[in-house]
Structure 1
C-alpha cells in the first residue's frame, strides 16, 4: 500500500508544472494582459490546475522571448478532450480552412483579408491546419484562430456555457451568404429561446438553439444534409430538376459543359460542402428527423424537411435559367468569357471577382438569394424564404434576361454599323 501511495505521489509530481510557474505568468500578465488572467481565473481550467504552461509550454519566461510561447492547436486540447476533438475533426467546421483556400479567387484578395480578421479567413480559421499552414500564419503575424476550438470557446475562459449559446454561432453564421443567425433569431425557435433567456418562459420550455439541432448531445461533428452549396448526388428522378441541378453543377465548375466530372469535384468531396451519395444524405436527414421529433410528430418533421427540399428545387429552376442565359452570351460571343474560367460556363465561385454587371448579379443570385431561399425554409423562417430569397431570385432572373437582351441588341447594332 505504501509503495502504491508513493507511486501515485511521484506521478502527480511529474505531471505537475514546476512550482510557482503559473504564479510567475500571472504576476506579469496581470499587468500586461489583465483580462486574459481574469478569464483564466474564472475558467474550469484554473479550477483543475490547467495553467499557462499546459497549453503554451514553459519556454516563454520574459517579455523578450514571448515568441517562444507554444501555439495552442486542437492537438493541445486533445490531451484532455480527445472525444470532442475527434468529433470536431470529422465535422464540417474542421474543413473551414480547406474550403476557404479551395475557392478559385481566394489568392486574389488583399493579404489583410486573407490572414487577419477582416475577411473570410476570420471565420474560416476554425478549420484544422497542417503544420506548414500554421507556420504560414506565424510568419504572417496573425495566429488568431489557429486553435480552432477557441472560435466557439473563446480563450482564455473557454466557457462551455458560452459555446452552448446560439450567440456563439452568430459571430460567423450571419451576413450575406449564410444569415443563419438572422433567420434563426427571428423564427419561432429563436424567439422562444430569447424568451427563455430573459426569463419570460420556463427554462425547460421547448426552445431549440443552433446546438440543439446541429450538435445533439454535444456532438462536435457538425454536418448538414444538403451541405453548404445546396446540391447533392445522385440526381433526382424528376427530369426537369435533374437538368437544372446539372446546370447548377456546371456553374459551380463541378461538371464540364458536357456533364462530365471535373477536378473541382474532388475539391468539393474533400471540403464536404455537398452530399455526394444517397447514404450520406440519408444519414444526416434521419439524424435531423430524430432531433425534430423531440418537439414535433415525426410525420410533421419529415413533411417540413421535404418542403425545404422543394424550395431548393424551385430555386434551382430560377438559377439554372439565369446560368444558361449567361452561358449563351459566352457561346455567341456577346460577352467575353474571362480567361480564368476553365469552362464555357459562368463560374459561380468567383464571387465578387465576377468581371461584369450581369455576371455579378448572377453570383449574388446564387450566393445571397438562393441561400436565403432554402436556408430560410430549413430554419422555419417563411419571410426569409419568400421575400429575401425566392422573390429576390425572381427579380435577379428578370434583370439577367433583360440585360442579356440589351447586350444582344447592342451587338446586332454594332454588327450593322461595321458593315
Structure 2
C-alpha cells in the first residue's frame, strides 16, 4: 500500500520539473514559441514580432536627436515625416520625436512594441495586457497562439507568414493605429479591424456591412466626426470599436460570450450571465433593454441549431472512423512533423476537442468538407447572428445543410463501396506511400 503512494509521488516529483525543463529548452531556438528549435525567422518576421526579431540597419552610424531624424528623413521618407507632422505626437506641447519611440542610436534602433508605447499610454497598455486573462479569443495572446501551434512549423514558411501578419496585433500597436499618425479617429472606424477580420474564417466585414448598422455607416460614415470618443450619443450607429471597445477600453475580449463560435459553450453560466448584462447595457445605448435580451436569445437559438447540425456531421464521421472507412487512413497520410503522438498512434481527429483545428489540411475529402462546414459555414452563420444580419444567418445555415447533405451522401457511398468489396471478396491493400508524395508534400518536406 505504501509503495502505491510513494512510487506515483516520486514519478510526479520527477515529471513536473522535467516538463518545465523541456518547455524552457524548447523555447531556446532561433524561432519563438514551443517549437522555436524547429524554425528560423525570415527577415519580415522582424516587422511582425519586433521585440524578438527586428534588427537595426547598419547603413548609418551615430547617435541623433529627434530634430536631426526629421531633417534627414524629410528627404529619405517624406511620407513618414508628413504623417508624423499630422499626428498628436508632433503637435503636443511636448513633442514626441522619432528617437522617443525608436531610440537615438542608429545602430541600435528598435521598432516600437506595446511595452514601448506603454511608457506613455499606460492605461491602454495595461488594459491590453490584462486581456490575457480572458483566454481565447484574445488579441494579446494572438502571436503566442500562432507560434505555439504545431501547424506553424508543419506548413511551409511562406504560408504561415500570412498568419502572423494579423497575429502580430499582439506584438505591435500599429496593427490598429497605423504609423506614423497613430490616429485614434482612424482606429475607431471598422476598416481598422477588417484588415484582419475578413474572409471565410472570420467574416466580420461582410456580416457587419450587411447589417443595419453597417449599411448606415457605409451611407453616412464619412461625414461623422471620428475624433469623438466611443460614448453614447456620439455616433449614429455603432462600429466594431464602439461595441467591442466601449469607452475606448483596450480589452476587445472583455465581453466574449460565444468564444468565436468555434466551440459550444453554455451561455447561461454565472460568468456568462454577467457578460450578457454587459451586452444588454451596451445595446441599451440605442435600443430598449427587452429588445437587446431578445437578440441575445435569438443568438443562443442560432448557436443551438448550428451545433445540432455540426454534431450530426461529427457522428457520421466518427462512425466511419469506427468502421475504418475514412480513406486514406490516418496512418497512410504524411505525418505531421511536430506531432510525435500522431506517428505512434495515427488517428483521424474529429471535432474541436480532438484537435481538429490543427489538422485542417492533410485529411480525406469528407473530413475537409466537415472542416469547412465547421470553420466557414458555421462562422458565417454565427457572425451574421452576432452582427444583426438575418439574411447571413439564413445563408450560413443553408450552406451548413448543404454540407451536411454532402457529407451524408459521401458516407453512404463509402459504405456501399465497402459492402460491394466485401461481397466480391476484394481485400483492400494498404496504400503504401501513395499519399506520402505529391508536389505540396514534397515541397513542404524539403523546404520546412
TM-score > 0.5, shorter chain as reference: yes
TM-score (norm 2): 0.69
Query: Do the aligned partners of residues 369 and 162 (structure 1) sit closer, same or farther apart at CA in structure 2, a change above 3 Å counting?
Result: same
Aligned length: 332
Kept in 1: contact 2:84–2:181 (CA 8 A): yes
Please name the residue that 1:141 is paired with.
none
Instruction: For 1:176 and 1:320, locate their aligned partners in 2 and report how far apart those are by CA, in whole Å.
Output: 21
Any conservation in 2 of the 1:370–1:393 contact (CA below 8 Å)?
yes
Instruction: State the Cα distance separating 1:182 from its structure 2 match.
Output: 0.8
Deviations 1:199-243 (A, max 9, x none): 499x9563111111111100011112111244355598xxxxxxx
Unaligned runs of 5+ in 2: 1-61, 132-137, 226-232, 337-341, 427-448
Alignment of 1:5-404 (within 5 A): 21-48=65-92, 49-60=95-106, 65=107, 68-91=108-131, 92-115=138-161, 119-127=162-170, 146-147=171-172, 149-199=173-223, 206-223=236-253, 224-231=256-263, 233=265, 278-336=269-327, 337-339=329-331, 345-346=349-350, 347-350=355-358, 352-387=360-395, 389-404=396-411
Could you say if the C-alpha distance between residues 334 and 349 of structure 1 is closer, same or farther in structure 2, counting changes exceeding 3 Å?
A: same
- Aligned residues of 1:104 and 1:349 also touching (Cα < 8 A): no
Instruction: Give, in whole Å, the separation in 1 of the partners of 2:252 and 2:362.
Output: 31
Contact preservation (8 Å) 1:348, 1:366: no
Q: What's the RMSD between the two structures over aligned residues?
A: 2.5
Q: Does the residue aligned with 2:258 lie in a helix, a strand or coil?
A: coil
For 2:205 and 2:359, the matched residues in 1 are separated by 22
Cα distance 1:34–1:104, how it changes in 2: closer, same or farther (>3 A)? same
Deviation at 1:121?
1.4
- In 2, Cα distance between equivalents of 1:307 and 1:173: 23
- Name the CA distance, whole Å, in 2 between partners of 1:378 and 1:332: 39
CA contact (8 A) 2:264 2:307 kept: no
1:379 offset after TM fit, Å?
0.5
Shift of 1:24: 1.7
The 3 A distance-change label for structure 1 pair 171 and 108 is same
Distance of 1:157 and 1:413 partners within structure 2: 68
How far apart, in 2, do the equivalents of 1:200 and 1:78 lie? 29
Q: Take 1:56 and 1:280, find their aligned partners in 2: how far apart are those partners?
A: 42
Partner SS state of residue 120, structure 1: helix
Residues 71 and 344 of structure 1: is their aligned pair in 2 closer, same or farther, counting only changes over 3 Å? same
Question: Do 2:349 and 2:359's aligned partners in 1 also have CA atoms closer than 8 Å?
Answer: no
Deviation at 1:103, TM superposition (A): 3.8
TM-score by length of 1: 0.74
CA contact under 8 A between 1:225 and 1:282: conserved in structure 2?
Answer: no
The one-character-per-residue Cα deviations of 1:54-91 (angstroms, maximum 9, x if unpaired) are: 1111111xxxx3xx212311110111111101111123
Specify the SS of the correspondent of 1:396. helix
TM-superposed deviation, 1:314: 0.3
Change (3 A) 1:165 1:343: same
Q: Which residue of 1 aligns with 2:421?
A: 414
Alpha-carbon shift at residue 162 of structure 1 (Å): 0.5
Contact 1:319 1:366 in 2 (8 A): yes
Tell me the secondary structure at the aligned position of residue 418 of structure 1: coil
